[in-house]
Structure 1
Amino acid sequence: MLHRNAVTTDSEKKKWQKIQSFCKKARDDEFEFAWIDTCCINKDSSAELSEAINSMFQWYRQATKFYVYLADVNDVKQLARSEWFRRGWTLQELLAPRNIQFFSYNWAKLGDKKTLLGTFAALTRIPVECPGLLGVKQKGRKIWHTVSWVIFDVNMPLLYGEEGVKAFLRLQEEIFKVSSDITIFAWTSPQPSPNDIYTLHGLLAESVDWFADSHDILLGRPRYFTGQEPYTMTNMGLRVTFPVVAYLEDTPFTCLAYIYCGRRTTANMKSVVENLGIYLTKMGHIFYRIGTNCLPVIETDWRREPWQSCTIYVPQKGRDRNLEEWGGPEEWGGKVSRRWA
């Protein structure tokens, strides 16, 4: 809690001025009560802090009016460089409130979410037509349409000291419980290198950055495959069912799996959807994803190629090992058979 008589440092003075200006603005808008995160959370209490963090999205959603104070912005032209777009809490502050207003460093109004919609869409890559950007609950959007800017209707307990990779993996496991959208696997690893094809990965991404190029992914399902079994986490890894085809014997890749999604492109003056897949390699009874620097386009006749629907197990751990350590295909698997499953 911040008390006026205890304000001594420059940082505390800025906080106090922010609180005063906020309360004045709320009073001018004829509100009797106002809540501000600067002083309305007892951060010395882990229980209260945890409750506030888990409840904040709903608090923002239920607010009659929501103010965003941008201390580093003088006018609308400077929005793109604001630190607000690089904060961890910004996404829920942008999406949750239905009525949100933005103010500059001197509390001059910059606009609201509707008038600045185009600017926010360009800065965040959230589609303009997305209901969430207008404070309306989103329905029907695919997981990795959403994960490039990411909010999901899941609850996760806070684990203090948990590193980012583990937290993001845990988030994806929570998503499994409420969604069967297979586009959760439509990611590519950043900063690809020549050795990337040999690195062993699980099926889950380690960072939201790995979905930076997934905003245009479309969900699709060829009529030649029926149904999709639920995927679950087991003691052998993630259990999934993919349509797969084995590669030729002289290739470093074991197989190609179709992940039921694609990208729209133009071919012969026509708009078409290219089917996408992922590369998998088999080691014993489990698989790993390899070649994660791309989502290969599947150019095949589904009726003629030897595709088969296979249930596999893919562990997330062990991604620091690579095929070179195993001595190459001849030493860890021999020739790749088309009847490998």
Structure 2
Amino acid sequence: MVIKAIIEEIGKYAIFSHRWLPIGEIIFGKISGEITLAHLAGLCTPSELGGLEKLRQFCTKARELGCSLAWADTCCIDKTSSSELDEAIRSMFRWYRSAHICVIYLAGSTALEDMEDDAWFKRGWTLQELLAPARIKFFSKDWEPLCQSENDKLNPEITRRIERKTTIPESQLRDFQPAPHDIPIRMAWAANRVTTRVEDRAYSLIGIFDVNLIIAYGEGKSAFGRLMEAIYQKRPHYEVFLWERRPADDHASRAFPASPESYLSYDGPELSDRAFKADDPTNRVWAGRSGSFGDNSFASTNRGLRIRCLDVWVTLRSDPVEVAQHTWKLTLRPWHPLERDIEDVVALVDSQTSASFKMKPPRLSAAIGVLDYLRDESDRPGYVETKGSLVEGRDHFGWLLMCPTGHSGGWYKVMTYNTVRLRFKQQPRKSGSSLRSIERSLIQVHL
């Protein structure tokens, strides 16, 4: 332990987070072997002096913060080597995590009061550079610290401003754990961030979701589809499908979203906190019964991604209402008598879907394909799950599905602009009464 502590002390390093200059950064090819900043200054062109000054200031701050080593992405990665670039991108989260401290340079900020307006918060790569390190330190454009705390992740004023800007809770800023969990929430953090190359929208999230992905610049938007596949293969969970709007147009399956923005409408709780707990009072009616939520056996087939949903057939309760240009609100009600305890379902759809519901006679059947149904995990030999349950005490999430009336071709997913959810109607409860549940058949959907 003593030897380990000595090695860690000798090898501790500061790591740099910043926005690249349009021109003039000091890159790997400018530095060869041992070289001093003074010697480097003699090799720089006039356009590189701004990059040199930024690098010099970073090294100065690293030394002041107790580090004899410093790492900057501009000059510590040989981007002419595809193998080195591949390794660097896939290791980046770990490198930021292992750093003694991350020096964050806000080139557009002069004081704490304007830090939220800095363009640093809109870049794709800076999300993991904010989440991964245990210790961070913000500096203004003049290289003055924005506050006097040793670790800005422990400064309530800083973390409140970051949460207000990014929606990332203080608890996640201070103790973020990379994993393929809470996908809608983490994707929303990444939404509307900008990267120079379109593939980096996916590559910059590899570490956050703790997945492995081959780097292939030139693949374009397909990178995001591969990222989503890697996430669901590592953790087959329904939350990967809680997205809205149009699917990716460059992926064979319609089950995958086009970008992180597809998750922006999700407004539910952190999904990792919604696991089934038999001793939870909300779930006491299920005590003694094995179960968890959603299909965990979905798979890619030659017909697309196959997933099981619990079907709740619905009909239009009232005429569609136009709530925005080309956006219509559908109020749907479950039509089966056993589902009378379910509230009306709201779906925001486009004009074409709205018109389909108004056809007389109806040419389409509609249903909500519930993704997070309570499943029966029976251990009976040869048991094949055919039914699931809706349970009181939680919101259920699903897709709006449609099928041509009398057609055997199967259900297809309809694009919606909101997260479709079902819940039980509220009603007075007598002391000791059981929670309600509805058991329904499962259907297979191919996307």
TM-score by length of 1: 0.75
Taking the aligned partners of 1:189 and 1:308, their CA distance within structure 2 comes to 27
Which residue number in structure 2 is paired with residue 4 of structure 1?
41
Taking the aligned partners of 1:98 and 1:303, their CA distance within structure 2 comes to 44
Q: State yes or no: 1:159 paired with 2:216.
A: yes
Q: How does 1:208-227 map to 2 (within 5 A)?
A: 208-217=260-269, 218=271, 219=274
- Which residue identity is paired with 2:266? S
Taking the aligned partners of 2:89 and 2:160, their CA distance within structure 1 comes to 29
- Larger C-alpha radius of gyration, 1 or 2? 2
Q: Is the 8 A contact 1:148 1:212 kept in 2?
A: yes
Q: State yes or no: 1:177 paired with 2:233.
A: yes
Query: 1:142 Cα shift?
Result: 2.6
The count of corresponding residues between Structure 1 and Structure 2 is: 290
Q: Is the 8 A contact 1:279 1:290 kept in 2?
A: yes
Query: 1:272 Cα shift?
Result: 6.1
Aligned match for 1:13, one of 30, 45, 49:
49
TM-score by length of 2: 0.59
Which residue number in structure 2 is paired with residue 280 of structure 1?
401
Taking the aligned partners of 2:290 and 2:66, their CA distance within structure 1 comes to 60
SS in 1 for 2:417: coil
SS in 2 for 1:292: coil
Which residue number in structure 2 is paired with residue 258 of structure 1?
370
Matched-pair identity in %: 31
SS in 2 for 1:21: helix
Q: Is the 8 A contact 2:307 2:446 kept in 1?
A: yes
Query: 1:17 Cα shift?
Result: 0.2
Query: 1:73 Cα shift?
Result: 1.0
Which residue number in structure 2 is paired with residue 236 of structure 1?
303
Q: State yes or no: 1:308 paired with 2:408.
A: no
Which residue number in structure 1 is paired with residue 279 of structure 2?
none
Q: How does 1:44-55 map to 2 (within 5 A)?
A: 44-55=80-91
Query: 1:295 Cα shift?
Result: 2.8
Taking the aligned partners of 1:179 and 1:304, their CA distance within structure 2 comes to 27
CA RMSD of aligned residues (A): 3.0
SS in 2 for 1:106: coil
Q: Is the 8 A contact 1:43 1:49 kept in 2?
A: yes
- Which residue identity is paired with 2:260? V
Query: 1:140 Cα shift?
Result: 9.4
SS in 2 for 1:147: helix
- Which residue identity is paired with 1:6? L
Taking the aligned partners of 1:215 and 1:128, their CA distance within structure 2 comes to 18
SS in 2 for 1:204: coil
SS in 2 for 1:60: helix
Which residue number in structure 2 is paired with residue 88 of structure 1?
124
Q: Is the 8 A contact 2:368 2:398 kept in 1?
A: yes
Which is worse superposed, 115-124 or 292-301? 292-301
Which residue number in structure 1 is paired with residue 63 of structure 2?
27
Q: State yes or no: 1:245 paired with 2:312.
A: yes
Which is worse superposed, 250-259 or 25-34? 250-259
Q: State yes or no: 1:40 paired with 2:76.
A: yes
**Deviations 1:11-46 (CA, angstroms, capped at 9, x unpaired):** x11110011111112222332211111211112222
Query: 1:85 Cα shift?
Result: 0.9
Which residue number in structure 2 is paired with residue 79 of structure 1?
115
Q: Is the 8 A contact 2:62 2:103 kept in 1?
A: no
Which residue number in structure 1 is paired with residue 325 of structure 2?
none
Q: How does 1:51-130 map to 2 (within 5 A)?
A: 51-111=87-147, 112-115=152-155, 116-130=158-172
- Which residue identity is paired with 1:175? I
Which residue number in structure 2 is paired with residue 294 of structure 1?
418
Taking the aligned partners of 1:287 and 1:246, their CA distance within structure 2 comes to 12
Higher RCO (C-alpha 8 Å, min separation 6) = 1
**Deviations 1:240-286 (CA, angstroms, capped at 9, x unpaired):** 1111133457374532211218xxxxxxxxx9643332112347645
Query: 1:139 Cα shift?
Result: 7.0
Q: State yes or no: 1:134 paired with 2:171.
A: no
